[in-house]
Chains A and B, each alone.
Chain A
Amino acid sequence: MRNNLRIYLAGVRTALASRMAYRGDYFLSILIMLLVEMAAPLITILIYGNGASFPGWSMYEALLIQGVFLLGKGIAYPFFFGIVWNTVERVRGGTFDLLMIKPKSALFMAIVTGFDAEDLGKLIGGATLFMLALRRLPPPGVGQWLQFLALFLITLLTLFAYGVTLAGIGIVWIGNIRVYDIFHSLTNFGLYPAAIFSKPVQTVITGIIPIAILGSVPASVLLGRPSPGTWGAVGISLLFLAGSLLFWRAMLKKYTSAGG
C-alpha cells in the first residue's frame, strides 16, 4: 500500500513538472476549468434570478446538489478519472503495452500515469460551490454529515467505476475520445434534483444506472430530506463497481496491441 502510494505520488510529481513547462497556460487552464464547471450553476442562478424555480427546491438547495456533483468530479478527474484519456490515447498510439509490462496492474499504472493536473481547477470550483451553497442553508447535524460522507464515498467509487468502464470501452473502441461525451450526457441528469424528472426517469437514474448517487442522493441527506431510493442507489452503485472491474478484465483480454 505504501509502495503504491509512493508510485502514485511519483506520477503526480511527473505530471505536474511536465505541465509546468508552460506555466502561464497551466494556470489559465486551471482557472478555465473552474469557470467551465460553473456553467450549470450559472444556468440555475439565471433561472431563479428570473423568478422561476425547480418546484420544491430553493436556489441554494439546487446549487448544493450541483456542488456535490462537481466536488465529486473535482476529486475524480485529476486523481483517477485520467485513466479514460490515458487508456484511449495509449491504445490508439500502441503504447498501452508499456503499462502492461510494468510490475504493477495495468489499471493501477493507467491511474498513476493519468494524473491530470489541469483538472485541479474542477476541484477548486466544486469545493467553492459546495461551501457557498452550504453556507446559505441551515447547518446539517453530525449524523447528517456522517451519512453524507458515507454516501459521498459511494459517489467517488461510482465515478471510479464509470472511469474504469469508459477506459475499458477505450480498449476495444480504438481512439474514440467521445466516450467522455457519452458520460457527460448521461450524468447530466445528476446535476439536478431527481424529483424534477418523471417517475420512470427517476427509477432509471436511481435504481438502474447510478446517476442520482453522483449529486442528488448525497446532497438530499445533507439537506435532511433523504431520497426514498437511497439504499437502492447504494446497492446499484456497488454492483456497478464490481461490474466495471470485471468489464475491464474482459476488455484487457481483448487488447490486440495493434493501435489505431
Chain B
Amino acid sequence: MRRRYGVKKRIGHLANVLKATALSTYKEWAAYRNQMAVSVFVGPVFFLTQMFIWRAVYGTRTILNGLTLEEMLTYYGISAVIGYLTYDSADWDLQWLVRTGGFLTFLLRPVSYCFYAFAEKIGHRLLALLVEILPIYVIFFFVFRIKLIPAAPGWALLSLALSFILVFLTNYCIGLSAFWLTRTEGLRRAFLTLRDLSAGMLIPLTFFPEGMQKLLFYLPFQFITYAPIRVFIGHYELAGITLPIPQVVALQFLAVVLMFLLSRLLWYFGIKRFTGVGA
C-alpha cells in the first residue's frame, strides 16, 4: 500500500516536471516563433520541387515501384509533416552542454536529463504544431490537394507517437556520444544524413536495390518515417515483405524499447567519463 502510494507520488512529480518544462520551453520559443514560421514557406517550396520532379518522372508511366503519382506525392506530403512533427535537437543540446561543462547543473537537479530533454521536446513541438505543422498541413491539403487523411486514424496516431519518441531516443544517443568525443558535429551530421536516407525521408525505401532494402528492413530507422507513412497510407511493404498494420506498429514499439535500452547503456558508461570541465 505504502509502495503504491510512493509510485503514485513519483508519477505525479514527473507529470508536474513534464508540464512545467514543456510550458517553459513553449514560452521561451514563442519569442522565436517567426523562426519556426519560416517552415510555412520552406516546406511547400520543397514540396513544389518534388511535385515537378515526380510529375516529369511519371510523364511516361502510371506506376513506379508500386506507387502511383498521387501516392508518391502523398508520401512526400506525409514525410514533410512527420519531419516537422518529430523534429528535435536533443543531440545538439546535449553535446553543447557536455562541451561547455554546463551539463553539470543537470546532475544536481532532482530529475533525469533524459526526461527533462523529452519534456522540452514536447513543449517545443506543441508550439510547432500551431506555428508550422497545422499551416503546412492546411497548405498541402487545400493548395496541393494532397489527401493527408490516414487510412486507420488510431494506428496512424500511435505510429506517429512512437516515431516522435524514436527520433528523440536516437538523437539523444548521438548526443550521449559527446561524453567520448566532446565535439560531435561530424558524427551528428553523418548520423542525420544516414538516418534521413534509411528512414525513407528523401525517397521511398522501395527505390533501393533488393539487398539494400533487406538491410534497411532490419534497421530501426525505417520506423522513424517510412513505417509511419505506410501506416498512414494503410499498407506496408519493404524488401518484398508485406505486413499488416498492427504488426508494423508492434515492431515500431519494439524499436523504441531497444533504442531506450541502448540509451540507458550509453548513459551508464558515458556519465562515468564526464568531468564537468568542458572544452
Residues of A at the B interface (CB closer than 8 Å) are 22, 24-29, 31-33, 35-36, 39, 42-43, 46-47, 49-50, 52-55, 118, 173, 175-178, 181-182, 184-186, 188-189, 192, 196-198, 201
Contacts and interface: CB of A to CB of B under 8 A. Distances in A.
Contact of A196 (B32, B45, B53): B53
Interface stretch (B59-67, B110-118, B249-257, B267-275): B59-67
Contact of A52 (B39, B61, B181, B202): B61
B35 A55 contact: no
Interface of B: 32, 34-35, 38-39, 41-42, 45-46, 49, 52-53, 56-61, 64-65, 181-187, 189-190, 193, 196-197, 202-203, 207-209
Contacts of A43: 202-203
Main secondary structure of the interface of A (DSSP, over half): helix
Given A26-B186, A46-B208, A54 B38 contact: no
B30 to A, nearest CB: 15
Contact of B45 (A47, A173, A188): A188
A181 B42 CA distance: 7
A46 B213 CA distance: 13
A191 to B, nearest CB: 8
B57 A47 contact: yes
Nearest to B46: A185
A39 B186 contact: no
Given A36-B193, A52-B64, A181-B38, A186 B45 contact: yes
B60 A29 contact: no
B57 A46 contact: no
With most chain B CB atoms within 10 A of its CB, the pick from A49, A50, A184 is: A50
Contacts of B45: 185-186, 188
A25 B186 contact: yes
A233 to B, nearest CB: 18
B222 to A, nearest CB: 16
Contacts of B185: 25, 29, 118
Nearest to B187: A28
Contacts of A22: 182-183
Given A52-B57, A176-B38, A189 B189 contact: no
With most chain B CB atoms within 10 A of its CB, the pick from A27, A43, A118 is: A43
Contacts of A173: 34
Given A25-B181, A31-B186, A35-B193, 4 more contacts: A52-B61, A182-B38, A188-B45, A196-B53
A187 B197 CA distance: 21
A168 to B, nearest CB: 17
B34 A176 contact: yes
28 contacts: A22-B183, A25-B185, A25-B186, A25-B187, A27-B186, A28-B187, A28-B190, A31-B190, A32-B189, A32-B190, A33-B189, A36-B189, A36-B193, A39-B196, A39-B197, A46-B207, A46-B208, A47-B203, A49-B207, A52-B58, A52-B60, A54-B56, A175-B35, A178-B38, A181-B38, A182-B38, A182-B42, A189-B52
